[in-house]
Amino acid sequence: MAKEIKVPQISEGVDTAVISEILVSKGDKIEEDQSVISVETDKATAEIPATAGGTIKEIKVSEGDEVSVGDVIIILEDNGDDSEEKEEDESDKEEETSEDNKEEAEKEQEEPDSDEKEKDESKSAKKEEEQKEDKEEDEDEDDEEDAAEEDDEKKKSKGSEAKKDKDTDEDSSKEVYASPGVRRLARELGVNLEEISGSGESGRITEKDVKEYKEGGSKKSSSGQAKLPDFSKWGAVENKPLNNIKKTTAKNVLASWQSIPHVFQFGEADISGVETYIEDHKEKVEEAGGKLTLTAILTKIVATALHKFPTFNASIDMDKEEMILKKYVNINIAVATEDGLLVPVIKNADQKSIKDLSVEISEIAEKAREQKLSKEDMEGGNFSISNLGGIGGTNFTPIVYHPQVAILGISRATTKPVYIDGKFEPRSILPLSLSYDHRLIDGADGAGFMNWLVKALEDPYEALLG
């Protein structure tokens, strides 16, 4: 019995993760709380700390493995020598119980008492004996009946021992409730029942569930496309697996695109004034540890707009035929990282100053790029902002991030001649695009929202006038 380090609950609702890096190796001496592996979950990476210290006896996983909460990652060597292994372990456990929390202590009590352990020991000893006998049997196998009968007698105790059949004794972590006929159908169709959430009572899986899953599954696998041709016919190709971030994004944007009837609204704002404002105040913000950017200013403007246009700060529930209006303003900021798109959330953006927002956005973008976002950092957003201005382009149509209902796209500002007071003047013009869910938001609201954003950028006093 050696100490084991298991996959902890990484964050709420996240049960599986892919191992991106193993930070230790066999034979290493590690301390408690030292990071041992780094994992990638749907939206973040995290380092997993050791729950105990010691010398690493075995690493049970390798990079790229998918692990679940509770899986053993590492087995630690015991301190004592082998003959005392059991006792060592026992005393270790006792230490743990006295030191650790009560829950641990309760668990300990539920474990089989020492009597049963002894039984186990004697059982394994018996097994060894039997194996020995078995060897003899093998050698004797072709001998005559007499020898076989002797064996019979040797085996008398075994015959009466109840042993459950392997196939029925599978102790799967998840109970699957499906009738024998449905289980057979699943095998015929190559469907894993554990992946299906049954529509019947208590999650019972019906024949219909299996068929629908099969159809849905094959649709999903082809993403609605025709079968892919063999591209290598035309030149060299490289097949690379999608990482978790890409897989999640793909799944989410497809779902958004399929379920949300999008409308796209464009607008242009003269941000010459905003640029001056940024120039004038950027040092102050830098002192505070942030970077004053157009994104930060627009986050503030959008936060204000969401109060004015509450349907943009809502979700739609078609099952209940109602809209859910949110009384808080959390805004997602899209951040491009090496591994793909991440959208961390700025909480209560309406209650924060532009300076605070600048600092927070800088910090969270950094966190995203370093893949240190927690699940909390990415939950609970109401509206998203995607700024591609730093890269370029005149306009784009971002996809609404379900279950939100709108997203603002920012492109690159360019200097354009604007006709003002009888003459052309060079002004900095920012292209904006707004995508929204037409189920909840009408064209008039969309245009109104865009107008207000433009006005707020050009003349905030007027915008705030009402």
Partner 1 sequence: MAKEDRKELVIIGAGPGGYAAAFHAADLGIKVTLIDPEVNPGGVCLYQGCIPSKALLHLAKTKEEAMHASKWGIKFEEPKIDIKKVAGWKEKVVKKLTEGLGQLSEARDIEYIQGKAKFTGEHKLEVTNNKGKTSDLSFEKVIIATGSSAVGLPDLEIDHDKIWDATDALELKEIPKKLLVVGGGYIGLELGSVYAALGTKVSIAEMTPGFLPGTDRDLVKVFEKNEPFKDVFFETKVEEVKITKKGVKVSLKGKKEEQNKKFDRVLVAVGRKPNTQNLGLKKLGISANEKGFLEVDNKRRTKLEHVFAIGDITGEPMLAHKASHEGRITAEVIAGKKGAAYDPKVIPAIVFTNPELAWCGLTEEEAKEKDKNVKVVKFPWSASGRAISIGENTGLTKLLIDKETEVILGGAVAGKNAGSLIPEIALAIEMGSTASDLSLTIHPHPTLSETIMESAELFYGGATHYKKA
List residues near partner 1 by CB under 8 A.
110, 127, 130-131, 133-134, 137-138, 141-142, 145, 148-149, 151-156, 158-168, 171, 175, 177-180, 183-188, 200-205
In the block, tokens 């784009």 appear at 396
Cβ closest to partner 1, residue 62 vs residue 202: 202
Task: Between 138 and 230, name the residue whose CB sits nearer to partner 1.
Answer: 138
For the packed helices 102-110 and 85-99, what is the interaxial angle rounded to 10 degrees? 140
Is the Cβ–Cβ distance between 434 and 406 less than 8 Å?
A: yes
3-state SS assignment for residue 379 = coil
From the CB of 15, what's the least distance to partner 1, in Å?
A: 18
Burial of 2-38, coded b for 16+ CB within 10 Å and e otherwise, reads ebbbebeebbeebeebbbbebebeeeeebeeeeebbb
CB of 114 to partner 1, least distance (A): 17
Query: Is 402 among the catalytic positions?
Result: no
User: What is the SS3 assignment for 80?
Assistant: coil
Select 102 or 164, whichever has its Cβ closest to partner 1: 164
**Nearby residues of 288 by Cβ (< 8 Å), 6 or more positions away:** 355, 358, 359
Strands 406-410 and 423-437: antiparallel
Catalytic residue among 262, 281, 402, 438: 438
Please report, for residues 122, 129, 157, 158, the alpha-carbon distance to residue 126 in angstroms, rounded to integers and kept in the order given: 6, 5, 10, 10
Comparison of 172 and 258: residue with beta carbon closer to partner 1: 172
CB of 174 to partner 1, least distance (A): 11
Nearer to partner 1, 6 or 154 (CB): 154
- Kindly state the smallest distance separating residue 195's Cβ from partner 1, in Å: 16
Can you list the positions of beta strands (E) in 35-137? 35-40, 45-49, 54-59, 66-68, 72-76
CB nearer to partner 1: pick between 132 and 439: 132
Residues 4, 8: Cα–Cα separation, whole Å:
12
Element (DSSP H or E) covering residue 215? helix 207-222
Measured from the CB of residue 10, what is the shortest distance to partner 1 in angstroms? 24
Q: How far is CA 35 from CA 28, 32, 44, in A?
A: 12, 9, 16
Distance in Å, CB of 137 to partner 1, minimum: 7
Q: Which residues are catalytic?
A: 438
